[in-house]
Chains A and B, each alone.
Chain A
Amino acid sequence: MSMSPVEGVALAEIDSGGGGADAPKEKGFVGRSPGQLAMLRLRRDRTAMVSGAMLVFFVLVGLAAPLIEALYGISPRDQFQAKLDGFGMPLGYAGGVSGDHFFGLEPNLGRDIFIRLVYGLRTSLLIAFAAAVITAVIGIALGALAGYLGGWLDAVINWITDLTLAMPFLIIALALTPTLTLRFYGERDAVSPAFGVGVLIAVFAIFGWTGTARLVRGQVIALREREFVEAAKASGAGLAHMLFRQLLPNIWAPILVSFSLAVPQFITSEAALSFIGVGLTEETPSFGRMIYQSLDYLQTDPAFVFFPGITIFALVFAFNLFGDALRDALDPKSSR
């Protein structure tokens, strides 16, 4: 490392674990942004790395679902009635686990659990990420405007936030989903899977933005009085510059953390909604729906409960661990 001694001392803490992954070779000054420092801290955190690797794995599996289907040779809708016994139970041990069916078969319909889990992962991640992105955008926009401009706009946005928080999520979701479906599709029409997914994302978006909005508003209010913001104001900066150049770069950390903790929340919510039957339609593979169906077979075929359950647990656990590690890396001074 070609650093001056002073630099070396100051950055010793960082370099001890970095293993020379950085260090531009030109002699002189190495400017590290707060973001780069957080990245270094994250890379040294074993929990973060393991949970991050798990997340990458899950996302890749979700993205590559059609490819896996092609390799595996079984589609999520294929039924293998021949491999079920007379009561509709899969033949063989542990719910019919075999070389052809890695996680066994569903009782009754005889569909392959592994490929349905892969597609369920895809559905869950799509819904959770889409909902998290939409809620983050709405929350950031409303929160930043309310916090920075204040006055009547702040009052109105706060009022809307309170109103949204006061609405019972579950009841509205229960009431809204069938009503919307009926509005666009007739009583007997087949509802397209994409529509079900869209409705779920919309319901999450309507209810999910309040937390981010409040978080961003609070952060912006705290920053608004800081002198560097006033310096920009004194130089004649406009609203866009203030929000996007001065304020938001300073609150990416909490936003990122809340985003990474919102995703698992949406995954479980999606599962819960599917579980109580207002989520997705039957043919869309989804974690919640699989667990819902599997509960009937808890005693007769525990493997059917086990595989979706353990997958959703691992997914949510990895997200939560990563979110916590991210918070630690971005804000090392905060106490746990």
Chain B
Amino acid sequence: MSVETVEPLLRVRGLTKHFPVRSGFRNRSVVRAVDGLDFDVRPGETLGLVGESGCGKTTTGRMLVRLLEPTAGSIEFAGRDITHAGRRELRPLRQDLQIIFQDPYASLNPRHTVGRIVAMPLQVNGTNPPGGIKARVQELLELVGLNPEHYNRYPHEFSGGQRQRIGIARALALRPKLIVADEPVSALDVSIQAQVVNLLRDLQRDLGLAFVFIAHDLAVVRHFCQRVAVMYLGKIVEIGDRDDIYERPQHPYTRALLSAIPDVTKLGPAGRIRLAGDVPTPLDPPSGCRFRTRCWKAQDICATEEPALVSRDGGNQAAACHFPERGPVEATPGGQPAAAPAGRGAEPAGQGAEPAGTGAGVEEVSR
């Protein structure tokens, strides 16, 4: 994917996480939460990881900071394989690799003062910053827009947005190079979301941080990320630069996802690609392309052959689809509504109405 000469900070290859599930007496099966991810993150770059709930975004994030042990595949950070590194080996790398959590109400220890929370990474790693830990903590609090005087207060005295800032300060304490942000704003009010996202963007610019930004809010990702990877059922279905993904999505799923962004300027169902049915269970994902059960373009080959994540036009954009879409979102290929009933013979009921609507006005999807 990356043709650039810059050495990637994070290189992920074939990253897989299977959770064993015991059903019945001796019947063991696995949930394929994440099934073979490949992606790179270059220094200072923000990669957005989007997808609906249950597609493995969070699992991926946890594996990157080694809170979960990968089943297979490799994670290389700054040229070192950290896939199965122990705590001692990880220690020097911990400083460069931090995580911001989703729920600001659960991610701060209620019994610790803000000062202790932010100082925790420093103390755990035995780091003694110049000027002392307290000075560093106050500097961090100031950096994230909090009053350094709040040093001695407790998390329950702060609002959600302020708490998330504390979490960000904690992640910044060790001066990391890469931060995995696991839905950092989805638990916040919309007005606060913008503040926090802008804070993250300022920090990214000022400190040269790289981000893996996990989110389901496509608008936030578009605002924040340079590159975007779209996940579906444990796999990356499309990855590319932000503008390519948002304006010229190649994978049908990406199109459907983008069309689901609510747009108050145009009410009504016009232009929305409504996917029928549910996401298949990761216990037994569909053969071939995992999206085929809900894809309006699916053909026989989709069931037999798994599409590779390859770049079509030699650019940075890669989609895992046998029949990639072409052109910008505005100009939806006219064949789409017609192809829908034919290609999807498996579940015709209850969907007949949608393709017509789909074809009618997809143009409103992109702003």
Contact = CB atoms under 8 A, between A and B. Distances in A.
B152 A31 contact: yes
A179 to B, nearest CB: 44
Interface in A214-236: 226-228, 230-236
Nearest to B114: A31
A10 B113 CA distance: 18
A299 interface: no
Interface in B86-134: 87, 90-91, 94, 98-99, 101-103, 106-113, 117, 120-121, 124-125
A181 interface: no
A33 B155 CA distance: 9
Given A31-B113, A227-B103, A249-B112, A238 B170 contact: no
B174 interface: yes
A46 interface: no
A237 interface: yes
20 contacts: A10-B157, A31-B157, A34-B111, A34-B156, A226-B106, A226-B107, A227-B101, A227-B107, A228-B106, A228-B108, A230-B62, A231-B99, A231-B107, A231-B120, A231-B170, A232-B124, A234-B99, A235-B94, A236-B94, A237-B124
Nearest to B180: A234
A250 interface: yes
B153 A237 contact: no
B87 A236 contact: yes
Interface string A26-58: 001101111100000000000000000000000
Interface of A: 10, 28-29, 31-35, 226-228, 230-238, 241, 245-246, 249-250
Given A31-B152, A235-B125, A237-B124, 9 more contacts: A32-B157, A227-B101, A230-B101, A231-B101, A232-B120, A236-B91, A236-B124, A238-B87, A250-B110
Contacts of A32: 154, 157
Interface in B145-193: 149-150, 152-154, 156-157, 167, 170, 174
Contact of A250 (B111, B157, B170): B111
Nearest to A225: B106
Contacts of A228: 106-109, 117
B95 to A, nearest CB: 9
Nearest to A237: B124
Given A31-B157, A230-B67, A250-B109, A235 B87 contact: no
Nearest to B174: A235
Contacts of B87: 236, 238
Contacts, number: 84
B113 A241 contact: no
Contacts of B124: 232, 235-238, 241
Contacts of B102: 227
Nearest to B111: A249
Given A29-B149, A234-B65, A236-B87, A249 B154 contact: no
A118 B109 CA distance: 45
B154 A33 contact: yes
A163 to B, nearest CB: 25
A233 B108 contact: no
Nearest to A32: B154
A4 to B, nearest CB: 12
Top 5 nearest A-B pairs by Cβ distance? A31-B153, A227-B107, A235-B121, A249-B111, A227-B101
